[in-house]
Amino acid sequence: MMNLSNKKKLELDNLVINLAKKLAKIEYVEEVLALNETYYKPCSVAVSYPALCVLFSELNYNFPQYNFDVCAHRYLERVNNSLLQNNIYDISLFDGLCGVGFAANCMSDNGKQYQSFIRNLNEHILNIADRNMLKYKKMPLNETIYDIMYGLTGIVNYLLNFKSESRVKNTLSNILQYLVDICTISIDGVPKFAIRVNQSQMFSLSNNSRMRYVNLGVAHGIPGILLILCKSYELGICVDNQLEAIKYLSEYIFNNCVKNNNTIFWESQKIIGIENYEAVPARDAWCYGTPGVAYSLLIASKLLDNDEMNKLAIDAMKLSLNRLREVISPTFCHGLSGLCCLARKFHEYTNDNYFYEMYIKLLKNILDLYSDQYPFGFINKEVEKGQITNKNEIGLLIGTTGVILTILSCYRPIKTQWDSIFLL
């Protein structure tokens, strides 16, 4: 955390509480979101009500006098009503039932509340996860099968909260074994985690079924797999060849770093099957680009005790934070909040004062984007067709919730471990 003056802490407290009071008004929130003319899945922690459940749970620990737990409960009721009215089979972490479970777990006061709700939800999640695994083993690979957003990495990240339960542990083992098995080389010498472009739901490169690519973003690519394999390994949930998979993934990421013109970066995807193409750097963000990828290497380097990998992660992150390519939004996914939290984690792991200074600078940059004229205090900025668009969002991924939680984490200890959803 930052060493801030009491005056600054009080100023930030007031900002956070005032925004929370706005977000506590459900009708107000719904009216603002309606202006976006966008459908928001009620069960999506990325963009909808579960994010506010997480936010108000964290706020309740810090400001119990405001009864923010009541606000969290009201939003969970909205989510539950939607679940009762619809048969939902999406168990993804950021868009489905695992995200709802994550929110309820944050609300549970360390396992004391909402236990019946969580148990019933988890039983449904496990049933679907086990069925999905049978399908995935027969399907061509794409990101939505394995990634943290919609796929198996995110499901593992959620289920690790219940790793002591025997059925959960069995499902975890099955999923982890699948992830480990794709972290090897196929008979044609190409990594099994490479995706054929005609199977991709992320990139339109070609209709050539022989052309493949490796997704290098944390949100949808192999750095996310690396982080979850490291996390589960350190928690003692291991399967055959898991350490070898961690080594293979980290070495692949290490070796596919692009170094030119005194800079270091990773592409969004490594294309396999095209010779001498020009590598294009991704934006500097948590979701894609150097910051998230460098963090995955930092974590792996600690586990593997690899100094060379550790140095590359640190050097790459410093260059990234100096340039901040295409960073225009205060939000978490591809904006300043994600970078602020990554700078905090780099400082915690390295004790390098540079990261502490950047941590402070990034918080200032976030606060500079605040306006009391915005309905939720902050807006999500995107570049669409060459134009910057602004939207009022509430989600953990692209909305004010992620921004407020980041601000709070800069000067108050995290209570709900909300940042674990991002594999931090």
The pLDDT-based confidence of 98 (bands split at 50, 70, 90) is very high
pLDDT for the residue numbered 206:
60
- Cα dihedral: 222, 224, 226, 230 (round 10): -170
Give the CA count within 13 Å in the CB-facing half-sphere of 83. Answer: 24
Q: Is 316 exposed, middle or buried (0-12, 13-18, 19+ CB in 10 A)?
A: buried
pTM of the model: 0.97
pLDDT for the residue numbered 215:
96
pLDDT for the residue numbered 199:
80
Distance, in Å, from the CA atom of 242 to the CA atom of 106, rounded to the nearest integer, reads 29
pLDDT for the residue numbered 204:
63
If you average pLDDT over residues 163-174, what whole number do you get? 98
pLDDT in tens, 217-256: 999 999 999 999 999 999 999 999 999 999 999 999 999 9
Instruction: Indicate the average pLDDT of the chain.
Output: 96
The 10 Å Cβ neighbour count of residue 28 is 13
The pLDDT-based confidence of 207 (bands split at 50, 70, 90) is low
pLDDT in tens, 2-24: 999 999 999 999 999 999 999 99
More confident: 114 or 383: 114
If you average pLDDT over residues 375-393, what whole number do you get? 93
Query: Kind and range of the H or E element at 195?
Result: strand 195-196
pLDDT in tens, 310-320: 999 999 999 99
Distance, in Å, from the CA atom of 244 to the CA atom of 8, rounded to the nearest integer, reads 47
pLDDT for the residue numbered 208:
67
Reading the block at residue 332, the tokens are 């978490």
Percent of the chain whose predicted confidence (pLDDT) is above 70 = 98
pLDDT for the residue numbered 334:
95
* Residues annotated in a binding site: 287, 333-334
If you average pLDDT over residues 38-55, what whole number do you get? 97
pLDDT for the residue numbered 321:
98
Positions of E strands within 226-299:
258-260, 263-265, 269-272
**Are 398 and 47 spatial neighbours (Cβ–Cβ below 8 Å)?**
yes
Sequence-separated (6 or more) residues with CB below 8 Å from residue 340: 359, 362, 363, 366, 406, 410
If you average pLDDT over residues 339-365, what whole number do you get? 98
* Residues annotated in a binding site for Zn(2+): 287, 333-334
**Are 238 and 229 spatial neighbours (Cβ–Cβ below 8 Å)?**
no
**HEC profile of the chain:** CCCCCHHHHHHHHHHHHHHHHHHCCHHHHHHHHHCCCCCCCCCCCCCCHHHHHHHHHHHHHHCHHHCHHHHHHHHHHHHHHHHHHCCCCCCCCCCCHHHHHHHHHHHCCCCCCCHHHHHHHHHHHHHHHHHHHHHHCCCCCCHHHHCCCCCHHHHHHHHHHHCCCHHHHHHHHHHHHHHHHCCCECCCCCECCCEEHHHCCCCCCCCCCCCEEEECCCCCCHHHHHHHHHHHHHCCCCCCCHHHHHHHHHHHHHHCCEEECCEEECECEEEECCCCCCCCECCCCCCCCHHHHHHHHHHHHHHHCCHHHHHHHHHHHHHHHHHCCCCCCCCCCCCHHHHHHHHHHHHHHHCCHHHHHHHHHHHHHHHHCCCCCCCCCCCEEEEECCEEEEECCCCCCCCHHHHHHHHHHCCCCCCCCHHHHHCC
> How long is the chain?
424
The residue behind tokens 């044609």 is 188
Query: Could you tell me which of 246, 249, 197, 192 has the C-alpha nearest to residue 222?
Result: 249
User: Does the pLDDT at position 201 exceed 90?
Assistant: no
pLDDT for the residue numbered 330:
98
pLDDT for the residue numbered 188:
86
pLDDT for the residue numbered 277:
82
pLDDT for the residue numbered 142:
93
Most confident of 96-110, 179-193, 278-292: 96-110
If you average pLDDT over residues 16-45, what whole number do you get? 97
